Chains A and B, each alone.
Chain A
Amino acid sequence: MYVELRDINKTFGNYKASDHVSFSIEKGKLVGLLGPSGSGKTTILRMIAGLETPDSGDILIDGKRVNDIPASRRGIGFMFQNYALFRYMTVEENIAFGLRVQKKDRRYIKKQVSDLLELVGLEGLGRRYPSQLSGGQRQRVAFARAIAPNPQLLLLDEPFAAIDAKVRQELRLWLKSMIQKLGITSIFVTHDQDEAIEVADDIIITSSGRIEQVGTPLEIYQSPRTPFTAAFIGQPTIITNYTDFHNFERIAGATEAIVRPEFIKMTKKGELMEYRASAEEGVVEGKLFRGTHMDIRVRVNGDLLTARRGLEDDDVSIGEKVDIFIYRLFVAAGDKVYLLKNESLREEEFVI
């Protein structure tokens, strides 16, 4: 394990930022700390960096306990949310800063800076000041500056938050491929699940200072292990009483369930539908154009569900009666989550 946190606790006043946090990260992985704002993910990152001190617990980097080692000697590259580029220094001076502080040879610094500028695709912009760059270019400079002293661990705080949506998409892939190319162990913080799923090798989900789940994006998405994760990932809708829906197993004491739009099949009356017998009837209450598809809000058994409809399909109108078939749903009971499949699907399998 390259980075390891053992039972970390941290409190700011009344706010419990870290509550018995433990996890470990393998060398070379790109890990996303994902959680809503205020869930303590940035605090975890800052404690690993040495910008905050945990109240209790151990932080290990490469097998060594680093709690008492100052930030400057932990061999860490840190990329701040707003990049924190030195405003009164040029791009070159920004990138060279860490190397100059380490009193590296002048020629080495020059070579390293020009190599890095080339790596991040900013050749020729070395003499500019940060204020003369676009958001995406600033991110690249911040990245180059963070990796210039060859850190063993790269920490990134909301690396894409300050960039507009269109460039963000492009930069996610760029950053991922860059980090893979360098093979540097990296941890980034984000509140955006799309970002975490797309960029990270592994995701650590945080909520109210606790670690909810650790796993690959696929595991996190397909098999949430805690009610929080189930309700956080995807585009969830809560069903207040899932026993109103046919063909689902009953879990003792549980009534609430979570469905995502991709779990729902919506058909107009008269459209071909395999499981019509076990479908529920609902009424369309709203439509939202989402670019690639429509989100249709349908009231079924008192709950408002969101279903997707392709733009090529026949339009539905508000007030129209439609059939809703739910393939599967997550049921939260206590601190466990069960994935329930619609039993009419199972019967089908059984027949075949």
Chain B
Amino acid sequence: MENETELRKPKGAGGYVLIAVSAIFFFVFLILPLVTVFQNAFSDGMLPYFKAVMDVYTRKATLLTLEVTAIALCVNTVFGLFAVWAVTKFQFQGKRILTTLIDLPVSVSPVIAGLMYILLYGRTSPLYPWLKSHSIHIVFAVPAIVIATIFVTFPYVFREIVPVLETEGTDEEEAAAIMGANWWTIFSRVTFPHMKWAFFYGIVLCTARAMGEFGAVSILSGHLRGLTNTLPLHVEILFNEFNSQAAFAVSSILVIIAIGILIVRSLLEARAKG
């Protein structure tokens, strides 16, 4: 052990240069912008800050963001678990295609995702007359925002759990099955404990991503203040109106939520390792 820590201490100029470069990079690209957000948010003092944060449109945007995130999270958790179960416990044709396609949302730009849904559900779509005659509003309404958010966040839960379960194999499940356990007992007592931390971690990542989603949502929402405006969109609107103090104040809500998520994440990581 002692040898190991000796080895891990930086030796000579090389080590210190690397550490210094990392620290400067970290400072310039992360700490400085974060400080700027709060500095600008409070540039006119406490009162305007709280005015911006408590503004009726800000509150509605926050509620919408939380609502959309909650729905996307539920859908993706259920979908993710089913997909994980299918992929790790069974052998079937097209399994590789499925696991590759699940990653699509990560590799496709969110803007393109937004456009895809416009084409699918918008005015030019062959589906549109049917949707209209049944008064189903998808594009430029909350459903589109939910759909876009689900799309961009759906690999997270799946991606976190699959490697964990793949290394576990199916022996313990088989052992439980031979002893007569039903699928729910097997899932709750054997499978879930294995993937518990990976599962929570996937949820955390999914939440973080859902809260911050801008591109796809921006195209699909229609930017109707108080109706289809999420927090990131609201920030953009305020910024475009040259109301930068309010824009930064609203941004700070997202930053605070993000920091909260990061704290939960590192707690989970610590638990998972321990």
Residues of A within 8 A of B (CB): 49-51, 71-73, 76-78, 80, 82, 84-89, 97-98, 101-102, 145, 149
Contact = CB atoms under 8 A, between A and B. Distances in A.
Given A86-B189, A86-B190, A89-B189, A72 B174 contact: no
B185 interface: yes
Contacts of A145: 175
Contacts of B176: 86, 97, 101
A102 B174 CA distance: 16
A11 to B, nearest CB: 15
A80 B181 CA distance: 17
B12 interface: no
Report, as a range, how many residues of chain B touch the other chain.
Answer: 10 to 19
Interface in B178-229: 178-181, 185, 189-190, 193-194
6 contacts: A72-B178, A73-B180, A84-B175, A86-B175, A97-B176, A98-B180
Given A82-B171, A84-B171, A86-B172, A71 B189 contact: no
A87 B179 contact: no
A88 B181 contact: no
A76 B181 CA distance: 13
Nearest to A157: B171
B177 interface: yes
A168 B171 CA distance: 22
B181 A97 contact: yes
Contact of B178 (A76, A85, A87, A89): A76
B174 A51 contact: yes
B175 A80 contact: yes
Contacts of A87: 172, 193-194
A72 B181 CA distance: 8
A80 B180 contact: no
Q: Which interface residue of B176, B180, B194 has the most chain A CB atoms within 10 A? A: B180
Given A51-B178, A82-B171, 4 more contacts: A50-B178, A84-B174, A86-B190, A97-B176
B180 A49 contact: no
Nearest to B193: A88
B200 to A, nearest CB: 15
A97 B194 CA distance: 17
A72 B179 contact: yes
Contacts of A101: 176, 179-181, 185
Nearest to B171: A84
Contacts of B172: 84-87
B125 to A, nearest CB: 44
B177 A71 contact: yes
Contacts of A84: 171-172, 174-175
